């Protein structure tokens, strides 16, 4: 899946060297999807979250990079910003880094440096998506359980357990230990409270999480299978089909329909 880049430039040198950027990005996982020479429009587009990466070309006399970063700084999950400067400018570089830019490149830019910066942005995007979708999937899984005042302390402890397990696969043994019970008692306890086994609850949560990741369009089926700790992609597919009625590749294909973007007019 391509990551979509928003290019923001100053009006005086609109689209300068844009064709060279398209050439560098050819046959990569990155695509320039929107070009704007308007600071106001750029602010709106960044805040809209329609794009994955901001590439801001910082040229005289406007030098819009710091202004753009400052105007979008209230956005908790602003898209990763890479600044391209027409000159080596340490003062503006420092300002941009303090405002949240992830890289500052001076022209002329070696293609490998630009790709390296974009790869760092892609890594950041994936990490943010994983964290966000995990939290949301956990909230949805907990909300699907029976809710009552008596169950609230258990639900809160279960929520804390899922947060703790974000970077590893939970087991009944780990859950029982977290709750301070032995495995057999915890199994009976959980089922008496929620009318399902912990294993069934956790699988439902995992598949909900997997579906959310696939629907972002940023993860392949194999990546999701590995991320969730399934022993093989085939086993992941069987479990996914059991809980959703379809295979994960179907969900993935439904997210791959964004039309390819054409280079803007220079």
Q: Look-up: residue for tokens 């009944």?
A: 172
Mean pLDDT of 217-225: 89
Q: What percent of the chain has pLDDT over 90?
A: 53
Ranges of each domain in the chain = 3-125, 144-254
User: Average per-residue pLDDT in the chain?
Assistant: 87
Most confident of 35-39, 177-181, 252-256: 177-181
What dihedral angle (degrees, nearest 10) is formed by the CA atoms of 98, 102, 107, 113? 150
**pLDDT digits over 197-208, tens only?**
999 999 999 999
SS3 assignment for 201-213: HHHHHHHHHHHHH
- How far is residue 102's CA from residue 92's CA, in Å, rounded to a whole number? 14
pLDDT, tens digit, for every residue of 1-16? 688 999 998 765 555 5
Q: What mean pLDDT comes out for the span 203-225?
A: 92
Question: For 207-227, what is the mean pLDDT?
Answer: 91
CATH of region 144-254: 1.10.10.60
189 vs 3, which has greater pLDDT? 189
Q: What is the mean pLDDT of residues 88-113?
A: 88
CATH dotted code for 3-125: 3.40.50.2300
Does position 51 have pLDDT exceeding 80, yes or no? yes
Given this model, what pLDDT does residue 20 score? 73
Lowest mean pLDDT among 54-58, 179-183, 237-241, 255-259: 255-259
Question: How sure is the predictor about 265, in pLDDT bands with cuts at 50, 70 and 90?
Answer: very low
Structure tokens at 22: 């398209």
Sign of CA pseudo-dihedral 125, 25, 256, 8: positive
> How does residue 110 score in pLDDT terms, banded at 50, 70 and 90?
confident
28/146: higher pLDDT = 146
How many Å apart are CA 178 and CA 162, to the nearest integer? 11
The residue among 10 and 79 whose pLDDT is bigger is 79
Please tell me the predicted confidence (pLDDT) of residue 237.
94
% of the chain residues with pLDDT over 70: 90
Of 138, 133, 104, the closest CA to residue 121 belongs to: 104
Q: What is the pLDDT of residue 16?
A: 58
Beta bridge partners, 32, equal 5
* Residue 48, pLDDT above cutoff 60: yes
How far is 210 from 217, CA to CA, in rounded Å? Answer: 12
Query: Element (H or E) spanning 30, and its range?
Result: strand 30-36
């Amino acid at each position: 899946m391509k990551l979509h880049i928003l290019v923001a430039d100053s009006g005086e040198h609109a689209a300068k060297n844009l064709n060279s950027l398209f050439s560098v990005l050819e046959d990569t996982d990155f695509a320039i999807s929107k070009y704007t020479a308007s600071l106001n429009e750029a602010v709106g587009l960044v805040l809209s979250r329609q794009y994955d990466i901001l590439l801001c070309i910082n040229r005289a006399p406007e030098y819009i990079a710091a202004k753009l970063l400052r105007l979008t700084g209230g956005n908790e999950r602003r898209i990763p910003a890479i600044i391209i400067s027409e000159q080596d400018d340490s003062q503006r570089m420092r300002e941009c880094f303090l405002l949240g830019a992830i890289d500052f490149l001076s022209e002329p830019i070696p293609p490998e440096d630009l790709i390296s910066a974009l790869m760092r942005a892609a890594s950041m995007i994936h990490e943010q998506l994983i964290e966000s979708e995990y939290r949301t999937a956990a909230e949805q899984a907990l909300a699907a359980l029976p809710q009552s005042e008596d169950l609230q302390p258990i639900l809160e402890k279960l929520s804390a357990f899922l947060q703790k397990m974000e970077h590893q696969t939970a087991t009944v043994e780990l859950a029982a230990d977290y709750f301070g019970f032995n495995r057999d008692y915890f199994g009976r306890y959980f089922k008496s409270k929620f009318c399902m086994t912990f294993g069934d609850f956790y699988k439902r949560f995992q598949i909900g999480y997997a579906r959310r990741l696939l629907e972002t369009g940023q993860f392949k089926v194999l990546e999701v299978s590995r991320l969730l700790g399934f022993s093989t992609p085939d086993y992941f597919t069987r479990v996914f089909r059991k809980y959703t009625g379809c295979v994960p590749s179907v969900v993935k294909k439904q997210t791959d329909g964004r039309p390819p973007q054409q280079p803007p007019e220079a």
